[in-house]
């Protein structure tokens, strides 16, 4: 989903419903999450963007109700001679 109040350009969130810990999801959930990340990377590439940040957010407390999520956002392009 696209962020309501993004912190960066083209910010995309992926949320695993009813999953509150890194230990909960099975292989199929991780496969879906990875497929989503690859799709976002392809989208960024279609926009000719070659730099982005990715964060995996989880609160590992039994009382937490925050669902596991991944956040990706575009950063400024880097020049080939810089890296």
Element (H, E) at 52: strand 52-57
Q: How many domains does the chain have?
A: 1
Residue 38 lies in a domain: yes
Residue 13 lies in a domain: yes
Q: Are 19 and 67 in contact (CB under 8 A)?
A: yes
Residue 67: pLDDT above 70? yes
Residue 80 lies in a domain: no
Residue 2 lies in a domain: no
Output the pLDDT for position 41: 93
How far apart are alpha carbons 20 and 9 in whole angstroms?
27
Residue 30 lies in a domain: yes
Name the pTM for this structure. Answer: 0.76
Residue 40 lies in a domain: yes
Residue 4 lies in a domain: no
For 2-49, the DSSP string reads: B-SS-SSEEEEEEE-TT--STTS--HHHHHHHHHHHHHHHHHHHHTT-
Residue 80: pLDDT above 60? yes
Per-residue confidence at 3, pLDDT binned at 50, 70, 90? low
Output the pLDDT for position 35: 93
Residue 5: pLDDT above 60? yes
Task: Tell me the pLDDT tens digit for each residue of 11-65.
Answer: 999 888 888 888 888 888 889 889 999 999 999 999 988 889 999 988 888 788 8
Query: Which residues form the domain of 69?
Result: 9-74
């Amino acid at each position: 989903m696209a962020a309501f109040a993004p912190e960066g350009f083209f910010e995309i969130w992926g949320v695993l419903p009813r999953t509150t810990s890194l230990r909960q999801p099975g292989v199929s959930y991780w496969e879906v999450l990875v497929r989503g990340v690859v799709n976002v990377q392809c989208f960024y590439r279609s926009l000719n963007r070659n730099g982005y940040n990715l964060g995996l957010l989880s609160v590992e407390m039994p009382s937490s109700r925050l669902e596991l999520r991944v956040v990706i956002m575009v950063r400024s392009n880097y020049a080939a001679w810089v890296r």
